[in-house]
Structure 1
Amino acid sequence: MKLNLNIQPLNTWITSGKEPLVIAGPCSAETEDQLVATAKLLANTGKITALRAGIWKPRTRPGEFEGIGSIGLEWLKRAKEETGLPTAVEVATAKHVEEALAAGVDILWVGARSTANPFTVQEIADALQGVDVPVMVKNPVNPDLSLWIGALERINNAGITKLAAIHRGFSSYGNTTFRNDPMWDLAISLKTQVPDLPIINDPSHITGNRDLIGYIAQKAFDLDMQGVMIESHIDPSVAWTDAKQQVTPAALSDIIDNLTLRKAEVKSAAVSDKLAELRAKIDKIDDLIIQKVAERMNIAEQIGKYKKDNNITILQVNRWEEILKKTTDYGKALKLDAEFTEKLLELVHTESIRRQGIILNEGQEQVEEKLTQA
């Protein structure tokens, strides 16, 4: 289902003309000299759309550096005056909104921790009533698309039409390659539901590792995202926060130079015709996949009835392990990623178990009604 948010196109409120759109600057404003010097080096690259800096820093645990506070807004103002770069700041309270706007900040963003709390988002939205300022909303810490969309709706309902989303990845438990799992499918789902919404990728927070920033930024642009927000510090080795994910302005310039920008629209008739031909083939295969899944579910229901008649449990662990190994091995032979095959199998298996559970625990009329409504 598509949502109709009242959104202005990105090029009407970011008019620098630079491609790609790059918002960059230090994770935290630490000192006036650090911020202004970084801003000047970024401006000198000629590749930066706007300057970002953390003024208030929500930290996981107390005692860590939580931002320099309001004085940093004066430093940001000076950086803007000396470089000509528009400025962007994260806000987490109504007071932050008021102070940032009073200091002439050009773009505000709502952080991941704030997005996860509808009360906080509503407080920010109320403070934005009657204000014409661009606002970007990061995805919530947890992978909840409805929560992300809800935050965007609250800001939009406050009258903010210069609106964008920031994809910064989602928290996951345990050791992984990335600091935050990209979960690209959720960003794609957001784009599908709100096609006019600009999405800006934050490879710094996704990777937590400066060496992977270029890789994630390229993937974001390949998925038709409209820009990136990258943390940059004059000397990342001494940064007070998130040192490992910040890059120098020179390194940032190299990252941008190495990006390949592709077009979302197809203008060549020959290319368009070829894509249409290949997509038609995919459509036919998709139809067959759905038909085969439906056939599989019909057989699973027959198995459910047989189990009910013979008083057999739904889950047969040995059988599931056998299917998982056999099909994953088969998928590998066909050059399918093992993790993808396993996730697909688990999805189909979970639906089969759900249907068998209905059959084992309900009468026939109730079964038919529930299966039809599912």
Structure 2
Amino acid sequence: MENKKEMRTWLDDLNLKHPLVIAGPCSAETEEQVLKIAHELKNTDVSYFRAGIWKPRTRPGMFEGVGALGLKWLQKVKAETGMKICTEVANAAHVKLALEHDVDLLWIGARSTVSPFIMQEIADALEGTDKPVLIKNPVNPDLALWLGGIERIYKSGVKNIGAIHRGFSTYEKTKYRNNPEWQMAIEFQNKYPDIPLINDPSHITGKRDMIFDVSQTALDLNFDGLMIETHYDPDNAWSDASQQVTPESLIQIMKDLKIRKEGNTEEDYNKQLDNLRAQIDVVDNQIIELLGKRMKASDGIGALKKSKNVAVLQSKRWNEILGKMVIEGEAQGLSEEFVLRMFKAIHQESINHQEKILNG
């Protein structure tokens, strides 16, 4: 993609003194509900009011949105509060209706981004629009697929582009609804630093009490803003009740978040340092999780050896691992001494696990 810096223009034109905030209910349920939430968010740091009009659900029979009727409600939000409005589009018909109702910003959801066919259909319908278009990461952790979707929108002539990081599905059980895979967002920023990147802590966490921490991590990693689902009665919301916060809670979250300000050389240094340390914290947590998984595998080996009365230490296998890891480590710029010390410690912990099972 050429001239990527122009993609940041729409964000710069807002002249914000803080990160971008997009907030509103997961789903537009009634006109009264939409307007009540919007008025509670009026005169806050929220720049765009969001509401899902068409809701792609995992299974049929669930609430799938009020449809085009909700666009009239969003127009009332704009007229009564002066707030900019936005919604998700999932096909060409959605795009046409949203543009006809002068929706200020459109986003494309994770279930759409995963399909190049759908993305091309939406790109064709968006051709030439000056509205900002944000593309969520696909449900699966595939950076190329995410970038491919963005490129399709860009090639249709849309210049006001951004990306939304909403986490990724995983078959493994984690504390998140959608695993953030922060390293992928970091790689995205490194490849395209001039494309605004928005974090969606609501979909990442699936739990309102985790939204602040994920939001802070995102800001520490220099994300450009947040999309947070907000409802005046979240426990009784028609969709995704557990991940929505009240307007009062959102306002408090925005007050408590630490924003890294630009300034003199020393402040710039501290900002860069905080960013790098935040990246390290993310990777360190992943290392611990991976080591935990490795030890669970060792426990399985210990149980298998116990059932067959086999000794714990297998010297040939151990030497093969060490040799391979030294070579892999060198390719990553790691010294042989470090790799040997690290894997000897890991091996010892693995032996301890297996001996505990054998002698248990």
Does TM, normalized by the shorter one, top 0.5? yes
TM-score category, normalised to shorter length? 0.7 to 0.9
How far apart are residue 9 of structure 1 and its match?
2.0
What is the one-letter code of the residue matched to 1:165?
A: A
The answer to whether the 8 Å contact 2:95/2:125 transfers is yes
What is the one-letter code of the residue matched to 1:327?
A: M
SS of aligned partner of 1:7: helix
The answer to whether the 8 Å contact 1:114/1:121 transfers is yes
What is the one-letter code of the residue matched to 1:77?
A: Q
In structure 2, do the counterparts of structure 1 residues 182 and 271 end up closer, same or farther at CA, with 3 Å as the change threshold?
closer
In structure 2, do the counterparts of structure 1 residues 159 and 234 end up closer, same or farther at CA, with 3 Å as the change threshold?
same
| Match in the other structure for 1:175 | 173
- What's the TM-score once normalised by structure 2's chain length? 0.75
The answer to whether the 8 Å contact 1:5/1:153 transfers is no
> Equivalents in 2 of 1:331, 1:87: separation in Å?
52
Q: How do residues 91-110 of structure 1 correspond to structure 2 at under 5 angstroms?
A: 91-110=89-108
- What's the TM-score once normalised by structure 1's chain length? 0.72
> Equivalents in 2 of 1:270, 1:196: separation in Å?
21
SS of aligned partner of 1:8: helix
SS of aligned partner of 2:7: coil
| Match in the other structure for 1:49 | 47
Structure 2 residue runs without a partner (length 5+): 277-314, 326-338, 350-360
Structure 1 residue runs without a partner (length 5+): 280-314, 339-374
What is the one-letter code of the residue matched to 1:207?
A: T
The answer to whether the 8 Å contact 2:25/2:231 transfers is yes
How far apart are residue 328 of structure 1 and its match?
6.0
In structure 2, do the counterparts of structure 1 residues 54 and 320 end up closer, same or farther at CA, with 3 Å as the change threshold?
farther
CA distances 1:197-239 after superposition (whole Å, capped 9, x unpaired) = 1100000000000001010000001001100000000100110
> Equivalents in 2 of 1:255, 1:270: separation in Å?
24
| Match in the other structure for 2:18 | 19
C-alpha RMSD of the superposition? 2.9
| Match in the other structure for 1:75 | 73
How many residues are aligned here? 293
In structure 2, do the counterparts of structure 1 residues 18 and 87 end up closer, same or farther at CA, with 3 Å as the change threshold?
farther
In structure 2, do the counterparts of structure 1 residues 14 and 69 end up closer, same or farther at CA, with 3 Å as the change threshold?
farther
The answer to whether the 8 Å contact 2:49/2:83 transfers is yes
The answer to whether the 8 Å contact 1:3/1:193 transfers is no
What is the one-letter code of the residue matched to 2:138?
A: P
SS of aligned partner of 2:42: helix
In structure 2, do the counterparts of structure 1 residues 194 and 222 end up closer, same or farther at CA, with 3 Å as the change threshold?
same
How far apart are residue 8 of structure 1 and its match?
3.1
> Equivalents in 1 of 2:108, 2:42: separation in Å?
24
Q: 1:230 aligns with which of 217, 228, 235?
A: 228
| Match in the other structure for 1:59 | 57
In structure 2, do the counterparts of structure 1 residues 11 and 120 end up closer, same or farther at CA, with 3 Å as the change threshold?
closer
Q: 2:264 aligns with which of 258, 264, 267?
A: 267
Q: 2:140 aligns with which of 139, 142, 157?
A: 142
In structure 2, do the counterparts of structure 1 residues 208 and 332 end up closer, same or farther at CA, with 3 Å as the change threshold?
farther
How far apart are residue 18 of structure 1 and its match?
4.6
Structure 1 residue 330 and structure 2 residue 345: aligned?
A: yes
| Match in the other structure for 1:133 | 131
What is the one-letter code of the residue matched to 1:198?
A: P
| Match in the other structure for 1:87 | 85
How far apart are residue 245 of structure 1 and its match?
0.3
